Chains A and B, each alone.
Chain A
Amino acid sequence: MKLQKATLFALLSVLELAREPGRQISATEIADRYGISANHLAKVLRDLGRAGLVEAVRGAGGGYRFSGNAKRTSLYDVIDLFGDIVTAGHRRQGSGDDTEIGRALTRVLDEIDEIATATLKSITLATLLKTMGWHEERLANAGDAAKEARDAGPPG
């Protein structure tokens, strides 16, 4: 799945802000951290502000802070703000859609969309932030185990 830049920037910034609710971070700081365009990010943050997920804090030391409910906001909710999700049955009409092969292909593409949508709806911001460390740890352990097995050499 490929996300548009604005959608990806929205996910990165809202997760960064939700990581420590109450903490204020400037758009420039977020842009620097993720190597993205500060101008583009500023527009994305305004969209997130209109959706109630972040709020601008004015004055010295101002910036943005998370103002949503991380346990109730899914990745899908954020992506959907930017219209970046094609849901099954709503794919743009294309060549061959009215043919037997076209319909068969649409069924496969709809299946992929349904799985992607269900996955994105099932992961809240809180869940992603809570579990990301576990997955990193798991990958590291798997890497260590694989290295140990390589170092041990073939059995016998």
Chain B
Amino acid sequence: MDDDLTVRVAEATDIAAVGGLDARITGLAKPDYWRGTFARYGARPDRYFLVAETGGRVLGFIIGEVRAWEFGSPPSGWIFAIGVDPEHRLKKIGSRLFAAVCRRMGEDGVRTVRTMLARDDALNMAFFRSQGMMGGPFIQLEMGLASARLGAVNVKA
């Protein structure tokens, strides 16, 4: 582990580094998305955008928020993005970010933290499992709108 690693709230000057890190991990650059995400989640109540930094270099990030009463669920923490520099994996950076966001969410009164990820995302799935997360009482459902029988439903606008 990097001894001088700091986990702190993201600042506007971190956007380029976070976006760059995400582009390296996903192979997809999306600067507008990251500017928008920072605008919505940076330093806001019940929203968490944290970065792990050492020597002025951003090595990881985590983003989440508190969501409440979706299908009866009391306020709970949601993590919807995490990324760690591939060259610095296995140094507990992800664990530090996860612990930091859970601590902040706990301080804000939530007792459960959730996430949702692709079934075949083995890396992140194994990471969240290793932090103690398990399948919860909610299940994700979806359908393709193109194939849905929306036309068969008689909707009077």
Contact = CB atoms under 8 A, between A and B. Distances in A.
Contacts of A126: 130
Interface in B107-152: 119-120, 122, 125-126, 129-130, 132, 134-135
Interface string A120-140: 011110110011001100000
A119 interface: yes
Contact of B122 (A121, A130, A131, A135): A121
Given A134-B132, A135-B134, A118 B120 contact: yes
Nearest to A138: B132
Contacts, number: 29
Nearest to B118: A118
A131 B132 contact: yes
Interface in A88-140: 114-115, 118-119, 121-124, 126-127, 130-131, 134-135
Contacts of B135: 119
A143 to B, nearest CB: 15
B129 to A, nearest CB: 5
Interface of A: 74, 114-115, 118-119, 121-124, 126-127, 130-131, 134-135
A118 B125 contact: yes
Contacts of A124: 126, 129-130
Contacts of A130: 130
Interface of B: 119-120, 122, 125-126, 129-130, 132, 134-135
Contacts of A131: 129-130, 132
A115, A122, A127, most chain B CB atoms within 10 A:
A122
Contacts of B119: 114-115, 118
Contacts of A115: 119
Nearest to B139: A115
A135 B132 contact: yes
Given A115-B119, A122-B126, 12 more contacts: A118-B120, A118-B125, A121-B122, A121-B125, A122-B125, A123-B129, A124-B130, A127-B126, A127-B129, A127-B130, A134-B132, A135-B134
A-B pairs, 4 with minimum CB distance: A122-B125, A118-B119, A127-B130, A131-B132
9 contacts: A74-B126, A115-B119, A122-B122, A122-B125, A122-B126, A122-B129, A123-B126, A131-B129, A131-B132
A118 B129 CA distance: 12
A130 B135 CA distance: 17
A115 B117 CA distance: 12
A18 B122 CA distance: 22
Contacts of A118: 119-120, 125
B72 to A, nearest CB: 18
A74 B122 CA distance: 11
